[in-house]
Amino acid sequence: MKRFYIVLSLLFVFPMLMGMGIGGGNLAHRIPVPDKNFSATIVDSQGVTTKVSQISFDGKTYLAGQRGNTNVTIPFDKISSVQVGTPAEEKKLSALITLKDGKTLNIKVDGSLPCYGSADFGNVQVEFKDIRKVDIHGIVPKETQ
C-alpha cells in the first residue's frame, strides 16, 4: 500500500515539475524588479541597440566584479557607461567602467552575469558576455514610470 502512495505521488508531482520549466532556458518574459528604476541603452555583440528601463545585473542596480584581488560593486548612480572588452580569464571579461565624474576603471566581470531590462516592446535578457556596451542614463522619474 505504501508503494502505491509513492507511485501516485510521483505521478501527481512529476507533471507539475515539468511544467515549471526545469531544464533552464532564457525566460525574458519574467525579469526581476530592481530597487531603483534606471534607464539605459544596451548594445549587444551583434551591434543591436536596445533602450530599456528597469535595467539590472542579476536583479541588482550595481555592477559587481573584481579589480585585482578585490571584489567591487559599483552602483548605477556612479556609472556613465560600461564598455565590455576581451576575456580576462576563464569565464571573466574585462570591462572599462566610465564613472559620472569622468574617471575610469577596469574590472573583471563574470561573463554569465545576466542583464535584464524592460523595452517598449517587452522584456529583455542578455548575458554580460554578449554585451558590447551599456550607457546608463539615470533614474526614470516617477511621473513617467
Instruction: Provide the 3-class DSSP secondary structure of residue 20.
Output: coil
Instruction: Provide the 3-class DSSP secondary structure of residue 14.
Output: helix
Q: What is the pLDDT of residue 46?
A: 96
Q: What is the pLDDT of residue 71?
A: 98
CA distance 103 to 99: 5
Q: Which residues pair with 127 in a beta bridge?
A: 114
Instruction: Provide the 3-class DSSP secondary structure of residue 128.
Output: helix
Confirm if 44 and 132 have CB atoms less than 8 A apart.
Answer: yes
- Which parts of the chain have pLDDT scores under 70? 1-28, 144-145
Identify the residue whose cell numbers are 500500500.
1
Q: What is the pLDDT of residue 144?
A: 65
100 half-sphere exposure, CB direction, 13 A CA radius:
9
Q: What is the pLDDT of residue 60?
A: 98
Segments making up each domain of the chain, as ranges: 31-144
Confirm if 71 and 127 have CB atoms less than 8 A apart.
Answer: no
pTM of the predicted model as reported, rounded to 2 decimal places:
0.78
Q: What is the pLDDT of residue 86?
A: 83
Q: What is the pLDDT of residue 24?
A: 44
Q: What is the pLDDT of residue 20?
A: 45
